[in-house]
Amino acid sequence: MPSYVIAGALVFHRGRFQPLEVRTDGPYIAAVAPSVDRSGATVIDAAGLHLFPGIIDTHVHFREPGRTHKEDLESGSRAAVAGGVTSYLEMPNTEPSATTQALIDEKLALAASKSHANFGFFIGATADNVQELAAARRVCGIKIFMSSSTGSLLVDDPVALDRIFAQTPRQRVIAVHAECEMLMRQNAERLKHRTDFAVHSEVRDAEVAWRATRQAYELAQKHQHRLHVLHCSTARETEFFTPGRSIEAKLITAEVCPHYLLLNTSAYERLGTLAKMNPPLKSEADNRGLWQALHAGAIDCIATDHAPHTLDEKRQDIWKAPSGIPAIENSLALMLDSAARGRCSLEQLAWWMCEAPARAYRLKRKGFIEPGFDADLTLVDTTEVREVRNERQFTRVKWSPWHGQRLTGWPKMTFVRGCKVYDQGTFDEAARGSEIEYA
């Protein structure tokens, strides 16, 4: 593995972008200084660019095993590194659902053989696998679908939910898809005559999200159990979160996705079922409230909920079309574009997409550009203007809800544990990511 010296960039180091050089040796960062030893290293001229710690996407669905016509660990991780993402945490609603140690170990072996980025996996909760959850090893956390979505995982029985919080290690992250199954079903029954796209956002409305987030909040408090609320879609549910950046002191952390910040129910007109996901898009006021919560540190991380479905599957009516959008390869560009528009700073992006995810999930040697940390690095051109095009997507489903949108700010090169895996459209086909370790 060659050593690299990345020279001339502004490097995110100790909370700000600074003119520094970074040297990698093998899979680690060897030096970060105004001028580093160049002997034996390949020097990369990064003048005018910004160097971020590798982007960490803590919420993706890569569909392997079982639904590999939509994506697999190879295509999903290829899209990841093309989008500047060096590490991902993958969800258990594959086929079969990853609900046992044996199935987790299988996914880890598959990823080791084909993933371009570093990988970690959630174990899925069911109503009766609490023993597996309590004993699970090599997992980033426990995923609970409190409401049904893609796949068959669902735990909505309050007794079963209580048992999971009571009987699993308190420090292990429980990550919840927080929507209230009962209210959602009542709404669906009441609205079943409707055929417009926006009905989806009424079936799973703000109250549906708020009730489940409250339930998860109460369980976390009762059992003093670490909780992460996935994909917040409403301003209202953020009332349960504590503002500030002291993640290690927080019992409850929360995440938002770019689409909940940048899209609202007005998108159905243009996108139809391509804008269908769970939880659904909400109002413009929710967009604003989620930005505010992010700025306040009430929401800690940005992740994508990358959830590919084919265009054929999406070409059904609003009730039948599957929920989810491919997102991993444009999330950094979307957020850089938001920074270019003055909605946030580049330093905040490094916090929300690198440091905070590493801290929330206690990822070893990740999230920071520091000697001894993994050489996961994302080199970015904040001035490049490029249009998102379906035909240029690396996800297997080859479409993006952002098709046709011009964005300012794109990743140029991606390093995964010291290997230059992506360089402006070309990949190092031999390089592989590694299993993520947890502190």
Catalytic center residues: 305
> Minimum CB separation from ligand DOR for residue 370, in Å?
34
> Minimum CB separation from ligand DOR for residue 29, in Å?
34
Check residue 236 for interaction with Zn ion (CB under 5 A): no
Write out the binding residues for ligand DOR, residues 75-94 only, by CB under 6 A. 93
277 binds, among Zn ion, ligand DOR, none (CB under 5 to 8 A by kind): ligand DOR
* Of the residues 86, 87, 118, 150, which one makes contact with ligand DOR according to CB under 6 A: 150
CA distance 436 to 88: 9
Q: By rule CB under 6 A, what count of residues binds ligand DOR? A: 10
Site string for ligand DOR, 284-323 (x = CB under 6 A): -----------------------x---------------x
Q: Kindly list the distances between the CA atom of residue 166 and the CA atoms of 102, 163, 177, in Å, as whole numbers in the listed order.
A: 23, 5, 19
Q: 129: which 2 tokens?
A: 């696998």
Check residue 365 for interaction with Zn ion (CB under 5 A): no
Check residue 324 for interaction with ligand DOR (CB under 6 A): yes
Residue 149 or 330 with smaller CB distance to ligand DOR: 149
> Minimum CB separation from ligand DOR for residue 351, in Å?
25
> Minimum CB separation from ligand DOR for residue 281, in Å?
11
**Which residues have C-beta within 8 Å of that of residue 22, sequence separation ≥ 6?**
4, 5, 6, 9, 11, 29, 31, 32, 36, 51, 369, 377
Q: How far is CA 303 from the centre of its chain?
A: 3
SS3 breakdown of the chain: % helix, strand, coil, rounded to 5?
30, 25, 45
CA dihedral 307→143→100→437, nearest 10 degrees, is: 90
Check residue 49 for interaction with ligand DOR (CB under 6 A): no
CA distance 418 to 283: 42
Site string for Zn ion, 173-192 (x = CB under 5 A): ----x---------------
Residue 58 or 378 with smaller CB distance to Zn ion: 58
**Residue ranges with strand state E in 206-275:** 227-229, 252-256
* Of the residues 177, 211, 236, 420, which one makes contact with ligand DOR according to CB under 6 A: 177
Residue 172 or 309 with smaller CB distance to ligand DOR: 309
Please name every residue paired with 229 in a beta bridge, in sequence order, or none if there are none: 176, 254
Check residue 306 for interaction with Zn ion (CB under 5 A): no
CA distance 277 to 273: 8
CA distance 74 to 421: 13
The residues binding ligand DOR (CB under 6 A) are 61, 93, 149-150, 177, 277-278, 307, 323-324
The residues binding Zn ion (CB under 5 A) are 177, 305
